[in-house]
Amino acid sequence: MDNNTLSTKPHYPILDGLRGVAAIIVVTFHLTEPLGTGHLDIIVNHGYLAVDFFFLLSGFVIGYAYDGRWNKMTIGQFVKRRVERLQPLVVLGMTLGAIGFYYTDSAIWPLIHTVPLWKMLLVLLIGYTILPVPLSMDIRGWQEMHPLNSVGWSLFFEYIANILYAVWIRKFSKTALTILVVIAAVALAQLAITNGDVSGGWTLNAEQVRVGITRTIYPFFAGLLLSRIAKPVRIKNAFLWCTVLIAAILYMPRIGGAEHLWMNGLFEAFCIIIMFPLIVYMGAGGVPNSQAEGRICKFLGDLSYPLYLVHYPMVYFYVAWISNNKGTTIVQAWPYALAILVGAIALAYASLKWYDEPVRKWLRKKLG
- Cβ-based neighbours of 70, under 8 Å, separated by 6 or more: 170
Tens of pLDDT, residue by residue over 162-182, are: 999 999 999 999 999 999 999
Tens of pLDDT, residue by residue over 270-298, are: 999 999 999 999 999 999 999 999 999 99
User: Closest by alpha carbon to 299, among 20, 12, 11, 27?
Assistant: 20
* pLDDT at residue 5, as a whole number: 39
Q: How far is CA 154 from CA 34, 40, 65, 278, 322, in A?
A: 20, 23, 21, 22, 25
pLDDT band at 7 (very low <50, low <70, confident <90, very high): very low
* pLDDT at residue 232, as a whole number: 83
- Amino acid identity for residue 356 in this structure: D
* pLDDT at residue 286, as a whole number: 94
* pLDDT at residue 39, as a whole number: 82
- Burial per residue of 16-27, b for 16 or more beta-carbon CB atoms within 10 angstroms, e otherwise: bbbbbbbbbbbb
* pLDDT at residue 22, as a whole number: 98
Tens of pLDDT, residue by residue over 46-75, are: 999 999 999 999 999 999 999 999 999 999
Cβ-contact 75, 166 below 8 angstroms: yes
* pLDDT at residue 4, as a whole number: 42
Tens of pLDDT, residue by residue over 19-47, are: 999 999 999 999 999 998 888 889 999 99
* pLDDT at residue 149, as a whole number: 98
Kindly state the helix (H) or strand (E) to which residue 249 belongs, with its residue range. helix 238-250
Domain ranges in the chain are 13-367
How far is residue 286's CA from residue 170's CA, in Å, rounded to a whole number? 27
Tens of pLDDT, residue by residue over 284-343, are: 999 999 999 999 999 999 999 999 999 999 999 999 999 999 889 999 999 999 999 999
Cβ-contact 19, 300 below 8 angstroms: yes
Does residue 351 carry a pLDDT above 60?
yes
* pLDDT at residue 40, as a whole number: 85
How far is residue 234's CA from residue 59's CA, in Å, rounded to a whole number? 21
Does residue 1 carry a pLDDT above 60?
no
Helices marked H in 168-205: 174-195
Q: What is the mean pLDDT of residues 191-197?
A: 97
Q: Measured in whole angstroms, how far is the alpha carbon of residue 31 from the centre of its chain? A: 16
* pLDDT at residue 327, as a whole number: 87
Tens of pLDDT, residue by residue over 125-158, are: 999 999 999 999 999 999 999 999 999 999 999 9
How far is residue 333's CA from residue 318's CA, in Å, rounded to a whole number? 9
How far is residue 58's CA from residue 232's CA, in Å, rounded to a whole number? 17
* pLDDT at residue 46, as a whole number: 97
Q: Lowest-pLDDT range, 176-185, 202-211, 232-241, 307-316? A: 232-241
* pLDDT at residue 37, as a whole number: 85
Model's pTM, two decimal places?
Answer: 0.96
Cβ-contact 81, 104 below 8 angstroms: no
